[in-house]
Amino acid sequence: MTVTRRTILGSAVAASALALPSVKARAAGKPLTIGVCSDFSGTYSDVGGNTSVACVQQALADWGAAAKGYDVTVIKGDHQNKPDVGAGLARQWFDNGVDLLIDVPNSAVALAIAGVAAAKNKAYINTNAATSALTGPKCNANTIHWSYDTYMLSHSTGGAMVAAGGKSWFFITADYAFGHLLRDQTTAVIKAAGGTVVGGVAYPFPQTTDFSSFLVQAQSSGAQVLGLANAGKDTVNSIKQAHQFGITQSGMKIAGLLIYCNDIHGMGLDIAQGLVLTESFYWDLNDKTRAFTKRVLPRTPNNYPSMAQAGCYSGTTHFMKAVDTMGLDAANKSGAAIIAQMKKMPTSDDAFGECSVREDGRFMCPSYLFRVKTPAESKYPWDYYNLIHTSSAEQTFAPLATEGCPLVKA
């Protein structure tokens, strides 16, 4: 190993991200490094974490990176849901030759990293944060937002709940970028459909585990729908406790605005049955998604991929195709050039099928409204969803010019 500023403290570093194999020192094949920055131990560890890493590795295997002469290193880092930790990690990775940073649940961290990617001119694919600001006011030429966003969730799930007669809402919101945006966009959908929001509380994130006080307030508000503008284990906890406090028994409907199949698994169908939710990928959707899931499962035995994790597969596949098309030298020069190349090409993979990337960095794919099955309907492991509606990519995401992205020339 060459002695660089990376090789300090010898052994302690050997296993750390700082000890990246020096890009210059490796002659073997065409070197690339992909960093999976995720939550590996906290609220979002089930919907990101090691399953995301597995999906990146699966993408490289399926695309045949090694056979095509690429020597790709995959590293991982835990951002602990702290924007400063995430931004520091991203800066360090980019300074040390990471070519692509992917995954990143938690909107606050995701936005911080978008800034770093632009400053360092590297490629950044976010598959796991919800905030539509990534392709709105905070968009940049180095960032693509895969899988889903708050606009999709609020319009699809929120819209479906209002259409089914849920006119008055009470919100329980995770008190940071993502929760606020999801609540506000859903509120707009509710009002446009003639509904009202009668109240709401924002709780401190990520340290809240007891939602009882907010649930009691929701109950006494008399609203028809309890809107949960949160995600991951927070959603699981709030739905479980809503059952303990007899919320659903009293006739109030729960709208989980962001629920992944991993959360349903965590709750169990007894509690989750009947929930309506939106994902842009489901493992049991068609033959191709089932084939992809079957291939990736050995790497992630106890956790089926959700849309965010499948996004890591789809995004990595498309990134490799773009790099291969433009050549490694051009790709090494500029992350923005790789992203531009990705926007030029249509995407195609087993997880999301044939889609495209819009000029504001929005990955354009269909979305699916699901209803969670009853325990009796579920026939095999992770058989959780009934499909009730499909929206095209154009119906799913905000129209190009409406989001305030500076990249889009009006």
Using CB under 8 A, list all residues that contact other proteins.
5-6, 8-9, 12-13, 15-18, 40-43, 45, 77-78, 80, 82-85, 87-89, 91-92, 95, 107-108, 111-112, 115, 175-177, 201-202, 204-205, 207, 209-210, 212-214, 216-217, 219-220, 233, 237, 244-247, 249-250
Q: Give strand pairing partners of 279.
A: 368
Closest distance to other proteins from the beta carbon of 354 (Å): 35
Closest distance to other proteins from the beta carbon of 173 (Å): 11
Euclidean distance between CA atoms 290 and 284, whole angstroms = 6
Q: Please identify, using beta-carbon distances, which residue of 226 and 355 lies nearer to other proteins.
A: 226
Paired tokens of 120:
């360092």
Closest distance to other proteins from the beta carbon of 286 (Å): 32
Closest distance to other proteins from the beta carbon of 107 (Å): 8
Q: Please identify, using beta-carbon distances, which residue of 91 and 290 lies nearer to other proteins.
A: 91
Euclidean distance between CA atoms 44 and 251, whole angstroms = 29
Q: Please identify, using beta-carbon distances, which residue of 218 and 225 lies nearer to other proteins.
A: 218
Closest distance to other proteins from the beta carbon of 305 (Å): 19
Q: Please identify, using beta-carbon distances, which residue of 9 and 401 lies nearer to other proteins.
A: 9
Q: Please identify, using beta-carbon distances, which residue of 159 and 335 lies nearer to other proteins.
A: 335
Paired tokens of 319:
């990134």
Q: Please identify, using beta-carbon distances, which residue of 8 and 387 lies nearer to other proteins.
A: 8
Closest distance to other proteins from the beta carbon of 243 (Å): 9
